[in-house]
Amino acid sequence: HNFSLPWVVAAFVICVQFFGSIMLMTGMGTRIAALGVLGMFIGMAINHIDHGLHMNWSGQKAGEGYEYHLLVMAMCLALVYFGGGSLSLDRIFLKGKIQ
């Protein structure tokens, strides 16, 4: 069964990393971009879960842990919940329309 899933995942990751980072930097579509980054980092954490929690500072493990992924996921959840903030383009364009 060839579902071409690796190609789909690669395209998703490329789009999220390129467009999502621009959206997060400018604050345009912050919640949508944060959801995309959150989904990407959930997949990364699942991939790294076999290596344990902590980073591989000593080079003794086969790969990196997932502590950084948990940090980014927590930041994304905060952005999804609170939005982009007062200087975001979301706030400027939607001022007074959404509270």
- pLDDT tens-place string over residues 20-69: 999 999 999 999 999 999 999 999 898 888 877 877 667 677 777 788 89
Amino acid residing at 22: I
pTM here is: 0.80
Q: At what angle do helices 67-82 and 30-48 cross, to 10 degrees?
A: 160
pLDDT at 98: 52
Q: Note whether 46 and 63 are within 8 A (CB).
A: no
Q: What is the identity of the amino acid at 76? A: C
3-state helix, strand, coil in the chain (%, to 5): 65, 0, 35
Residue with tokens 């390129």: 18
More confident residue, 99 or 73: 73
pLDDT mean over 66-87:
92
